[in-house]
Amino acid sequence: MTPRSSSRSKASQGTASASAEGPVSGEPAVVPKQAVEVQSAPRHWIIRASAGSGKTFQLSNQYIARLRESPPDRILATTFTRKAAGEILERILLRLARAGLREKDLKELAAFVGDPPLRQPDSLRLLKEMTRHLHRMRVSTLDSFFSKLATSFTLELGLPPGWRMIDDVEDRRFRMQAAEAMLRDETTDSVVLLMNRLAKGRVVRSVQGLISDAIANHYQTYLMTEAAAWSPFPLLAFLPEEELAAALAALQSYPVEGAAHLKARNEDLERARTGDWESFLQKGIAGKIVQDDLVYMRKAIPDPLVEVYGPLMEHARAALIVPWAHQNQATRELLDRFHAAYEELKREQRGYRFEDVTRRLARHLSGRSADSLAYRLDAGIDHLLLDEFQDTSPAQWDVLRPFAQTVVSGEGTSFFCVGDTKQAIYGWRGGLAAIFDAIEEELAGVARRPLDESYRSAPLVIETVNKVFAGIPRHSNLDTFARAVELFSKAFPEHRTARGHLPGYVRLECPPLPPAPTGEGEEAGDEPEVSEDDLLEFTADRVAELAAKSPEATIGVLVRTNGTVGRIVHKLQRRHVEASEEGGSPLTDSAAVQLVLSLFRLADHPGHAVARFHVAHSPLGPLYGFTDHDDDEGAERLATQLRTQLVDEGYSRTLYRIALELMPTCGPRDGRRLRQLVDQAAAFELQATLRPTDFVEYVETQKVQDPTEARIRVMNIHQSKGLEFDIVVLPELDKDLRPVTPSHVYRVPSATQPPDCVLLYRDKLHVSLLPPALQGVFREAEAREVTEALCILYVMLTRAVHALHMIVRPNPNEKSTPKTFAGLVRAALSECTPPLPGQVIYEAGDPEWAAAHAPKVETAQVPSPVSPPEDDVVRFAPAEGGRRRGLHRVTPSRAKEERTERVRLSGVLRLGTSEALDRGTLYHAWFEKVTWLDETVPGDEQIREISRARGAVPALVERSPADFRATLRAEAVGPRPIADALTKGAYSRLEGTSFAADVLEELRGGPFELEVATERRLAVIDEGELIAGTIDRLVLFRRGGRVVAAEILDFKTDVVEAGQAAIRDKVEAYRGQMALYRRAVGRIYGLGAERIAARLLFLGPGTVVGL
């Protein structure tokens, strides 16, 4: 069986089943006719590629086709993440490598890269060209390309010499310092006036809170806009005092008929006299007039009364709009002052964010041609390939525009832009999907092509996706969302799938009610409800059930927030289900990390009562001699001790020591989080301060992933972009389509222009008082948010290959369909009656799809791109290999785990886990410095220095020389000691080598030269597999400059029990690893297997065994 599919990203790994793979293992199978069409007459393309339709595959086709005409440094391919850029590059290299090795792969690649026909020598030549010029290749993120571009225009961009990029933590510190500097430079009166305007004349927040909110909520939009955009309000005037009094008198004297109208008029008068103009416009007769509803309490409001209300309503309108306008303008003024201080600070510190560089480049490159930039870039760009273009921001397009215009208008150049506006889920970070539409108008002569056929999902999954997006307008309670939903549905193209033979299953269900409450304090009549936690418990049960029923399938649990990721993983762990926690969350979700942070809080503030209690009643209390939380002197001593340790040893070494002490009390997850905490401490060293609480704040704000190799992965939806899973579980469909109220809204005249109007967010009453054009700004912003929510729903649904499980909360008392993902899906798939506990709302397909087909699995053959589909077989593969694309990647050091037994770290040299890791690393580092032991031996100080460089604890550093020499003097169980295996004399006499007799006879027949390489890295392709790893020690026998034989030595630090049987077991465990090494060495040096010897050096017992 082939390696099990997993959910690793598509470019580097495969699809969920072999039958879903295409011409390169795991790639969508685009038929040659379609591929040649892309390569034919038009050279400039915009590709709208739906989920699973093979956009990365198409992009790699284009890159290889253009590589045949131009050197690598004249082709620019960009995407949005380093991971995606690496996957694109890997895809290109692997496809060329496979085409150079196998005729079948060559024919498949040739079908996609146009004329003249690609030959094997061509493929190998292109591969060599790329590998020779990897340093000049331009396959990168946009940020990386822009950063390199900026280094060529440092002076023109106004950047200081030696400028650098800063991370989020340093940027937060810059912002705080800039805010403080801004306040220092202002007079008290000006600050008070500004704060009053920001707070609408009411003291409701601290100065620091107001400033922090304004910066966090509005600064990014500020950077995109001109000052005029913040002053869009009409000029309104309050009634003069005399006119206001007259208007009130007129209303009071008006002869109102009917008790209800009279009461309402009097209440309106009271609100007006007290200046409660907001209530005046919300309630009573005035509230009806504002809504254009001239009926109050079932009685018409006469026109003369409406006229009497008119002046007061205009005055009330001004009373609400004018402070709003002042706050809008005050926000802009505040941001002006902050921006000046912030920019000055960044210039002083020479630190900038990627966004800063992008904006400066956009301004500088405006109106320039790419040809004028070529001399600074060391080479022009003839071919531009843009991936995930729907996530491009206006500023990013401003930088790319000159290059796009140049290649589109040039001879022998090409433009290839691929994306999908249905997957535009990054609007919150500046992406604007409408740019995709705009460039079609900007760039003349660019051909367009949709790709709506999936090479990922089973027919039932695609049918469900089509049904959902065709049916979402049936939702009966969309209100103002209806227009955006209808437009999305109308524009949605019907999807097809090329994987018609794949089985599938779709289920939409509600959890059952939890058991009735029986504890104290519960009222007998209370009806149980399904809480959010109940829903997550049900989700964990369902995932555990699916994992048991489909033991080789990958499962993706996709949620809206990172906080939910950790909760679900925790619930799965309680069910003994291993799951990978992804998406990133602060390390504070670990009890062990929380304890360490309490220790650091105590070090900074010995009087911190909570921290003192936490530390004193933890395993760290005895370690630091602090077990009484009321001991003030003890707290002071502990704080002084830890602060001294931080100054003397630094954060990472101090945290390493603390982690070693806590490890024995930790579970696997807390142990991983502690190791990640040590890594964070190492990163923090570069910006460390004398305040331990600064490190605490750093840890609390940094998101860290906790991924494992588990086949079940829990992540937020944004993390799932580009991935696919055999089974997808969606437990958070009950979230609102607009989960967060925006801080402001803005209007964009066109996709390529900056916003021309910014309005701080207000409620419906305030919005109703605006002119129609400004009311439209709110509608436009709402439509953008709803559209992005629909894109998120699309991404969720299209990650599934075989099965889609959707879980929603029941609500038997539901009065109207909620404006949630659950409401949309229910409206599209069912009659949308109130969902009941335990109800299966929608179900299609065979729930036993995996069990029915898995027994047929024997191999995972990849079908030809033009061959008909094979039998209706689900081809899962064993988990250890992971999901792959391209070549099967084999790591020799893991071969023993995958093919024989697993060697536990705790079995290495009988040490604790952390020290064992150190010792194993150190032994390899020590022996890396040994060329020939009979010529030079590393000195004691050199051994210690090696240990220090590897971060060993002081005690381990001190005893390193003795340990090293003890290993060399160890008595062997067999006849070959460690030291002899490392001497040149022994090799010259051919003593101890494990060559066959005929090879030994040949070597004895004439002189040879010896060459040794330590830590020899390798990556070779053999028999369709990519073998990558590191050989500890490789000895080459040369004759006449040619390698005629080789021997591989591998150091093993395993614990080996006494007796030959135990050693034989260990040897068998590593036999597969050494076989892969021998294959790789044979491939590199052209040697037959009989000319490659191998020996295992077990350092613990001092035993050398030949293979």
Tens-digit pLDDT profile for residues 421-450: 999 888 777 777 788 888 888 888 899 899
Q: Is the model more confident about 992 or about 313?
A: 313
The pLDDT assigned to 725 comes to 95
Structure-block tokens of residue 706: 């906790």
Tokens of 26: 């795991």
Over residues 441-469, mean pLDDT: 93
Taking alpha carbons only, the member of 80, 55, 940 closest to residue 429 is 80
What is the tens place of the pLDDT at every residue in 931-948? 898 888 888 888 888 887
Once rounded to an integer, what is the mean pLDDT over residues 246-251? 94
Give the mean pLDDT of 786-803: 95
Q: Given this model, what pLDDT does residue 976 score?
A: 56
Q: Residue 250: its pLDDT value, please?
A: 94
**Extended strands (E) in 969-1102:** 1009-1022, 1025-1039, 1042-1052, 1092-1098
- CB distance 794 to 721 below 8 Å: no
- pLDDT over threshold 50, residue 1006: yes
Backbone angles phi, psi at 1050, to 5 degrees: -125, 125
Q: Tell me which residue has tokens 């070959």.
A: 976
Greatest extent of the chain over all pairs of C-alpha atoms, in Å: 128
Q: What is the pLDDT of residue 852?
A: 65
pLDDT at 594: 94
Number of CB atoms found within 10 A of residue 686's CB: 8
Tell me the pLDDT tens digit for each residue of 100-109.
989 999 998 9
Rounded mean pLDDT, 468-476: 96
Q: Is the pTM of this model over 0.85?
A: no
Specify the CATH number of the domain 905-1106.
Answer: 3.90.320
Q: Mind listing the pLDDT tens digit for each residue in 354-409?
A: 999 999 999 988 877 777 777 777 778 999 999 998 888 889 999 999 999 999 98
Query: Bridge partners of 141?
Result: 79
136-187 residue pLDDT tens: 889 999 999 999 899 989 989 999 999 999 888 889 889 989 988 887 776 6
Q: Specify the pLDDT at position 314.
A: 95
**How far lies 1018's CA from each of 715, 1033, 1095, in Å?**
34, 12, 18
Please give the pLDDT value at position 1056: 65
Residue-wise pLDDT for 320-363, tens only, equals 999 999 999 999 999 999 999 999 999 999 999 999 999 999 99
Whether 597 and 699 have beta carbons less than 8 Å apart is answered as yes
Domain 30-156+357-453: CATH superfamily is P-loop containing nucleotide triphosphate hydrolases (3.40.50.300)
DSSP assigned state of 160: P
The pLDDT of residue 51 is 92
SS3 713: strand
- CATH assignment of 1-21+455-516+526-583+707-759+771-874, given 3.40.640.10, 3.40.50.300, 3.90.226.10, 2.60.40.1930? 3.40.50.300
Work out the percent of the chain whose per-residue pLDDT is above 70. 85
The pLDDT of residue 639 is 92
Instruction: Provide the pLDDT confidence category of residue 135 given band limits of 50, 70 and 90.
Output: confident
Tens of pLDDT, residues 711-767: 999 999 988 888 899 999 999 999 999 888 899 999 999 888 889 999 999 999 999
CB atoms within 10 A of CB 992: 18
Give yes or no on whether 1-21+455-516+526-583+707-759+771-874 and 30-156+357-453 have one common fold. yes
DSSP-assigned letters across all residues of 599-635: HHHHHH-TT-HHHHHHHHTSTHHHHTT---TT-HHHH
Strands 44-49 and 555-559, sheet pairing: unpaired
CB 362 within 8 A of CB 398: yes
Contact 681, 695 (CB under 8 A): yes
- The whole-number average pLDDT for the span 511-520 is 74
Which helix (H) or strand (E) covers residue 804, if one does? strand 800-807
Q: What is the per-residue pLDDT for 1018?
A: 77
Distance CA 163, CA 379 (A): 24
Q: What pLDDT does residue 1022 have?
A: 66
Give the per-residue pLDDT at 909.
Answer: 36
Least confident of 352-361, 810-819, 906-915: 906-915
**Phi, psi (degrees; rounded to nearest 5) at 943:** -65, -45
How would you write 490-501 as a 3-class SS string?
A: HHCCCCEECCCC
Task: Report, as an integer, the average pLDDT of 820-825.
Answer: 96
| pLDDT confidence of residue 505 | 96
User: Using 50, 70 and 90 to split pLDDT, how confident is the model at 1005?
Assistant: confident
Q: Which pLDDT band holds residue 1023 (cuts at 50, 70, 90)?
A: low
Whole-number Å distance between alpha carbons of 60 and 145? 19
pLDDT of residue 301: 92
Give the separation between CA 32 and CA 89, rounded to whole angstroms: 22
Read off the pLDDT of each residue in 242-258 and give the average, rounded to a whole number: 93
Q: What is the dihedral of CA 103, 105, 107, 108, to 10 degrees?
A: 170
Q: What is the mean pLDDT of the chain?
A: 83
Question: Are 1033 and 1006 spatial neighbours (Cβ–Cβ below 8 Å)?
Answer: no
Q: What's the pLDDT score for residue 17?
A: 33
Q: Report yes or no: 37 and 818 within 8 Å, Cβ to Cβ.
A: no
Residue 571 has pLDDT above 50, yes or no: yes
Domain locations along the chain: 1-21+455-516+526-583+707-759+771-874, 30-156+357-453, 165-349, 587-702, 905-1106
Run of H or E including 842: strand 840-845
Q: Which two tokens stand for residue 1049?
A: 């030595």
Give the pLDDT confidence score for residue 851 in this predicted structure: 76
More confident residue, 800 or 1030: 800
**Has residue 794 got a pLDDT over 80?**
yes
- For 66-81, b where at least 16 C-beta lie within 10 A, e where not — what string? bbbebebbbbbbbbbb
% of the chain at pLDDT higher than 90:
47
